[in-house]
Amino acid sequence: MLGGSAGELVQEITKRLPAHLQDLVREKLLAEVEKSEIINALKVGKVMKYEGGRFRYLSGQADLALPMEEAEKLMRQAIRQAEHRRELIVSEDGKRVFDLHGVPFDHKSGGLLAFDITEVIEKERKMYRREMQAYREAIAAVTGGRLNLANGEEIERVVSEGTELVKGEVRQTHDIPEARRIIQKFLPSIDRRRWHAIALCLSEALTNALKHAGGGCWQARQAGDTVRVIVRDRGPGIKKSELARATLMQHYSTKNSLGCGFTLMLYYADYLHLNTGPSGTTLAMDFCVVPAIS
C-alpha cells in the first residue's frame, strides 16, 4: 500500500469511515501529509489497524520500531473523539522522531499511519543552518561586522563572559526607568555620553521585550573596558523571513520584529549579539566605557 501515492493511501485507510465523514477526514489527512513532507518519507512508514486494545500490522516497514505506548494513547484519543489525531513522538533514546496519525474507523477501531521522519527533520535543520549562515554573513557585511547573529551555543558563551554587575526583570512599563536607575548605580563611573547611549539602548531593548514577549530579564556584565547589557525574553522571536529588515531597516516593525528601536541600538552600541527563535530572543549590547573626567 505504501508503494502507491499518498492519495491512494489515504483513500484506503479512510474507506471504512461513515460516508458523511470520509471527505472531511481525507482532506485533513492529506493536508497534514503534505504539510509535514510525509510524501518524502513514505518509504519508512507503517500502517496498522487498532482494535480491542491491539495493533495488527497491515503494510509498510514491518521492522519500524514504534513507541507503541504512545501510539496506543493516540489511537484511544482518536477513537474517543471521533476525529483524526496527530502527534510527533521522539523515541526513548532520543535518536528517532516519528510522525503518528490516528484515524478512527468506528467507536472501537481505527487505523494508525506512522512515519519515521528523522531524516526529513535533519535535512530541514541543515537547510536552516545554511540559510542562517547566509544571513549571518550578509548582516555582518552590511554592519561592518558589528552585528553578530549568534547560534545557541555562541549566545550562551556571550551571556556568561565577564563579571556580573547587576540584573533584574521587567514586567510592566514602569519597570524600565527603574532598570535604568538600578543599572546606573552599579556601573563604573563613565562618561555621560556613554551612559546616555547605554540608557537609550537598554530602554529600547526592554520596550521590545515588553511589547513582543510580555516582559523579560536583563543584566549588566563587565569584562575589562567593555560593559555588556543583556536582555532576554521568551517571546516568539523574529521570523527568519523578516530578520534582515527587522534588524537593518529603519522604522520597519511587525508584530514579531524588534521594530525601529533596533536601528538605534545598532547606532549607539559598539557591538551587538543577537539570537532569536521560537523559544525567545537574546540581545547582548557591548559598550566600550570611558572613565568620567572628575
Across 146-157, b (16+ Cβ under 10 Å) vs e yields ebbbbeeeebee
Cβ(231)–Cβ(207) below 8 Å:
no
Burial of residue 209, with CB atoms counted within 10 A of its CB: 0-12 exposed, 13-18 middle, 19 or more buried: buried
Alpha helical stretches, state H, the chain: 6-14, 19-35, 68-81, 118-142, 152-158, 175-186, 192-213, 243-248, 261-268
The three cell numbers locating residue 118: 528523522
| Residues of the chain where predicted confidence (pLDDT) is lower than 50 | 1-4, 36-42, 251-260, 294
Residues 176 and 179: their CA atoms lie apart, in Å, by 5
Whole-number Å distance between alpha carbons of 50 and 60:
15
Q: Do residues 68 and 56 make contact, with C-beta atoms less than 8 angstroms apart?
A: no
With the C-alpha atoms ordered 188, 190, 192, 193, is the resulting torsion angle positive or negative? Answer: negative
- The letter for the amino acid at 270 is D
Q: Which of 194, 196, 179 is nearest to 231 (CA)?
A: 179
pLDDT at 177: 96
Q: Reduced to 3 states, what is the DSSP secondary structure of residue 189?
A: coil
What is the reported pLDDT for 27? 74
DSSP state of 190: B
- Contact criterion met (CB below 8 Å) for 161 and 152: no
* Rounded percentage of the chain residues whose pLDDT exceeds 90: 46
For residue range 233-273, what is the model confidence (pLDDT) as tens digits? 999 988 776 776 666 655 444 444 444 467 888 889 999 99
